[in-house]
Chain A
């Protein structure tokens, strides 16, 4: 199934669009999804360590605008937001 990953902050450098799309298996966990994004970085940005650091330290949020944990299972097509390290004000 298709998952749209909405990009924010530093992760906007991953694409010229404001999102990435992934095809994933039903019931994939956020921890596994994170690894899939890391594979995308390896493939498209020649193992860019700064980008990988962003992914490793990012939180994620569901389409209901709730922060979701590594154990959260993705069970339907939806938009998930990646929340890199923050710093407003």
Chain B
């Protein structure tokens, strides 16, 4: 069971309670919430916020592919996964991503949560533009997905 969505920060926010409700089930003895937030320092620069850009359709497709692959690689059949990622401006300390997982056992939940975030960072077409205290801003260098597909 998967919920996958890109949240436009100008329209709505990520709400943790929505994730809690989605993964809540008496079938699951273990729940893990991974929450990514905007940090105040990066590479010795004072960060004031991040603008996220997203290819929404490809992002959702990648979330679905990663979820399906987790079935095969981790062999966790019974699970609930809630993934939301923001696009648009996110201020300091605000949530940029939530991955909530519900599984029968804790070792499954830890493995699944870690697998999802690592694969999303490598494969989901999302970009960050950091804004700094001196009013400058910069797109962060990322990982090319060219070699994986060409």
Chain A interfacial positions (CB closer than 8 Å to B): 8-10, 12-13, 57-59, 61, 65, 67, 69-70, 81, 83-89
Residues of A within 8 A of B59 (CB): 88
Asked if B57 is at the interface (CB within 8 A of a chain A CB), the reply is yes
Residues of A near B57 (CB, < 8 A) are 65
* Residue pair A59, B146 in contact (C-beta under 8 Å): yes
User: What are 18 pairs between A and B in contact, CB < 8 Å?
Assistant: A8-B53, A9-B139, A13-B139, A59-B149, A59-B150, A61-B58, A65-B58, A69-B149, A83-B125, A84-B127, A84-B144, A85-B143, A86-B145, A87-B128, A88-B85, A88-B127, A89-B36, A89-B126
> What's the least CB distance linking B99 to chain A, in Å?
9
Classify the secondary structure of B's interface with A: mixed
Interface size on B, as a range, is 20 to 34
Q: A9-B53, A67-B149, A89-B36 are in contact. Are A84 and B121 (CB under 8 A)?
A: no
Choice from A57, A87, A89 contacting B117 with Cβ under 8 Å: A89
Known A57-B144, A59-B150, A67-B145; judge A89-B120 contact (CB<8 A). Answer: yes
Q: How far is the CB of B131 from chain A (nearest CB, A)?
A: 15
B114 proximal to A (CB < 8 A)? no
Interface residues of B in 65-94 (CB under 8 A from A): 85
CB contact list, B108-122 vs A, under 8 A: 117, 120-121
**Taking A13-B139, A61-B55 as contacts, is the C-beta distance between A87 and B144 under 8 angstroms?**
no
